[in-house]
């Protein structure tokens, strides 16, 4: 296969996405022999991950037997590597000022509405509400505006949030989703303790990218594409990628994403820490009908399952852009992190409390409260996790990946998930919730394989429920 050839483009730090190559590969992959696809699936079943050429063959197969195997292996990987843990987080929108004109986004600078940037007091108010929902991990989000929302403002937000201490703990990990920037700014973010730097490529299809980013700094495809290279240079080794599904051919996008991951692995020894799979949602100031590549549910499910096969150790994030039914389904085949109780509006948590009208970036599809989501996850046999231990103990980048690949996730992450869920139940749950949590925890304890760790976790959980001790 031609694609086996020269992969020198992966180390091209200016632009490692070659449109003709990806399109050619998708075309060529349609002829992959059935026996070849079987071998690819066998490899995925051994948790070895797949390269983008193998992924192209899975994306283009139409064989129902292969498709059924893709879903069943995705489920096996999910169960084997991640067990029943689901990491919880919530977004925090701090500023919706934006200098870009992005056709899909309500922050588009030509769209007029009452824009806001939160003061530090308003940030504290939002964080108090997020903390009262039990969140320990947030994704800080902002539009791009170097004058109104410069990097120093983002750093101040982070310091303010990390400085806040509550009776039940604190926000312990701040992931940041802000526009592509320069190495110097990534260094500053690293210095104040960023969790993951998240940036969606939106689309890897350059002509589409240039069309939907009508004007503004974000219009520069290559600058956006190479943001993670600069983030690594600035000392951030946990980076989270994603595409906004709905802008271009979804199979092209998956290959772009996987080539990006391989590029990072080659250059920095570690690929994406997480991959997000946002699908385009209706938003003020845009008409979703104008986007010809909207992804239907069936294709979306296949894509999530194929990404799970491709990068078994990379966390996969699903937001409240998806509805309850789709979230429940995708949790089974690969998603490991979900948001809960989210607002996509600047100051939205306080507005919700005061029943004020919102100006969301886009309209969410899962309106359940965090407590409802967490209770339902437990009913479905999951363990919602509020753990941030890897980050707090410096296990980031390739150090996290080595732990994941060693198969130790169950011995390390599961006990932490069970302890943080116990703390959550103790701090935020009513009597009924506590009982349900205790049942879920008891059912999951035997899954900790190492006996010493299992016994220790059980003792710690007893202490959390009986004497309120915490943060083991
Ligand atoms: N300003 C940063 C940037 O340039 O990447 C952060 C962007 S924004 C706060 C976070 C993400 O929301 C965007 O990267 C985009 O993928 C997503 N988004 C924007 N409009 C959306 C829509 N209508 N539906 C779903 N997601 C959307």
> Could you tell me the sign of the dihedral formed by the alpha carbons of 226, 293, 78, 337, in that order?
positive
- Quote the DSSP letter at residue 216: S
Q: What angle do CA 399, 313, 423 make, to 5 degrees?
A: 80
Residue 232, token pair as written in the block: 């690594």
The ipTM, to two decimals, is 0.98
Q: How confident is the model at residue 2 (pLDDT cuts 50, 70, 90)?
A: very low
Joined together, the tokens standing for residue 187 give 């260094």
Q: Which of 28, 54, 78 is the last residue of a domain?
A: 78
Record the tokens describing residue 86, joined without a space. Answer: 């689901």
Q: Answer yes or no: do 126 and 64 share one domain.
A: no
Provide the domain count of the chain.
Answer: 3
The verdict on 411 and 461 lying in the same domain is: yes
Residue bearing the CA closest to ligand 1, atom 26? 280
C-alpha–C-alpha distance, residues 14 and 33, integer Å: 35
The stretch 24-47 carries a mean pLDDT of 96
378 found inside a domain: no
Q: Is the pLDDT of residue 4 over 60?
A: no
Pairwise pLDDT comparison (68 vs 399), residue with the higher score: 68
Would 19 be classed as within a structural domain? yes
* 236-248 confidence digits (pLDDT tens): 999 999 999 999 9
Task: Evaluate whether residue 332 is within a structural domain.
Answer: yes
322 lines ligand 1 (CB under 6 A): no
Q: State the CATH number of the domain containing residue 298.
A: 3.20.20.70
In a domain, 383, yes or no: no
Q: How far apart are CA 33 and CA 135, in angstroms?
A: 48
> In this structure, which residue's CA is closest to atom 4 in ligand 1?
179
Q: Residue 74 falls within a domain, yes or no?
A: yes
* ∠ CA 225-229-230, rounded to 5°: 100
Best residue among 104, 105, 157, 212 to mutate for probing ligand 1, ranked by most atoms within 8 Å of CB: 105
Q: 348 and 400: one domain?
A: no
Full domain range(s) for residue 448: 391-467
1 belongs to a structural domain = no
DSSP alpha helix (H) spans, 140-294: 151-163, 183-191, 206-212, 221-225, 227-233, 250-268
Same domain, 309 and 398: no
145 C-alpha to center of ligand 1: Å?
14
Ligand 1 contact via 178 beta carbon (within 6 Å): yes
Does the beta carbon of 283 lie inside 6 Å of ligand 1? yes
* Contact (Cβ atoms closer than 8 angstroms) between residue 59 and residue 306: yes
- Concatenating the DSSP letter of every residue in 335-398 gives --EEE-S---STTHHHHHHTT-----SS--S----HHHHHHHHHHTT-EEE---HHHHTT--HH
Q: Are residues 239 and 310 in the same domain?
A: yes
Nearest to 471 by CA among 438, 429, 423: 423
How far apart CA 334 and CA 195 sit, in angstroms, is 22
| DSSP 8-state code for residue 171 | -
Kindly state whether residues 297 and 340 are assigned to the same domain: yes
Task: Give the chain's mean pLDDT.
Answer: 91
State whether the beta carbon of 253 lies less than 6 angstroms from ligand 1.
Answer: no
Give CA angle at 36 (31, 39), nearest 5°. 155
Is 293 found in the same domain as 188?
Answer: yes
What is the residue with the minimal CA distance to atom 18 of ligand 1? Answer: 105
On whether both 220 and 317 belong to a single domain, the answer is yes
CB count within 10 Å of CB 254 equals 28
State the SS3 of 44-78. Answer: HHCCCCCCHHHHHHHHHCCCHHHHHHHHHHHHHHH
**Where residue 12 falls among pLDDT bands split at 50, 70, 90?**
low
Q: Summarize pLDDT for 361-393 with one digit per residue, the tens.
A: 888 888 888 888 998 899 888 999 888 777 676
């Amino acid at each position: 296969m031609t694609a086996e050839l020269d992969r020198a483009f992966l180390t091209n730090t200016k632009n490692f996405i070659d449109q003709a190559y990806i399109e050619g590969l998708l075309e060529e992959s349609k002829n992959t022999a059935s026996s070849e696809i079987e071998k690819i699936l066998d490899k995925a079943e051994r948790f070895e991950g797949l390269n983008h050429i193998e992924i192209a063959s899975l994306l283009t197969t139409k064989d129902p037997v292969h498709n059924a195997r893709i879903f069943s292996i995705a489920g096996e990987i999910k169960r084997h590597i991640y067990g029943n843990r689901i990491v919880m987080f919530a977004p925090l929108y701090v500023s919706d000022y934006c200098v870009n004109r992005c056709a899909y986004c309500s922050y588009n600078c030509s769209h007029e509405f009452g824009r806001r940037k939160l003061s530090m007091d308003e940030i504290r108010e939002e964080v108090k509400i997020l903390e009262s929902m039990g969140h320990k991990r947030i994704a800080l989000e902002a539009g791009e505006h170097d004058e109104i929302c410069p990097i120093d403002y983002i750093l101040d937000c982070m310091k303010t949030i990390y400085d806040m201490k509550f009776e039940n703990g604190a926000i312990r990990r701040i992931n940041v989703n802000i526009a592509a920037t320069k190495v110097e700014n990534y260094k500053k973010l690293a210095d104040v303790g960023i969790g993951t730097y998240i940036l969606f490529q939106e689309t890897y299809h350059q002509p589409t990218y240039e069309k939907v980013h009508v004007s503004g700094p974000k219009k520069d495809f290559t600058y956006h594409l190479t943001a993670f290279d600069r983030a690594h240079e600035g000392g951030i080794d946990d980076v989270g990628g994603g595409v906004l599904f709905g802008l271009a051919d979804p199979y092209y996008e998956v290959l772009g994403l996987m080539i990006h991951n391989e590029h990072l692995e080659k250059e920095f020894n570690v690929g994406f820490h997480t991959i997000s799979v946002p699908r385009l949602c209706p938003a003020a100031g845009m008409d979703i009908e104008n986007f010809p590549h909207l992804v239907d549910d069936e294709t979306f499910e296949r894509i999530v399952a194929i990404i799970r096969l491709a990068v078994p150790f990379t966390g996969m994030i699903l937001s409240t852009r998806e509805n309850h039914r789709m979230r429940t389904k995708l949790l089974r085949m690969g998603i490991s992190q979900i948001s809960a109780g989210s607002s996509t509006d600047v100051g939205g948590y306080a507005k919700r409390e005061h029943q004020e009208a919102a100006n969301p970036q886009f309209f969410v599809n899962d309106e359940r409260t965090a407590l409802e989501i967490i209770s339902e996850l437990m009913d479905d046999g999951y363990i919602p996790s509020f753990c941030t231990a890897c980050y707090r103990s410096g296990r980031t980048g390739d150090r996290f990946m080595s732990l994941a690949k060693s198969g130790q996730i169950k011995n390390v992450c599961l006990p932490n998930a069970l302890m943080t869920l116990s703390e959550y139940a103790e701090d935020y749950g009513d009597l009924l919730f506590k009982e349900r949590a205790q049942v879920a925890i008891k059912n999951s304890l035997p899954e900790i394989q190492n006996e010493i760790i299992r016994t220790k976790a059980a003792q710690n959980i007893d202490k959390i429920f009986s004497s309120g001790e915490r943060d083991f």
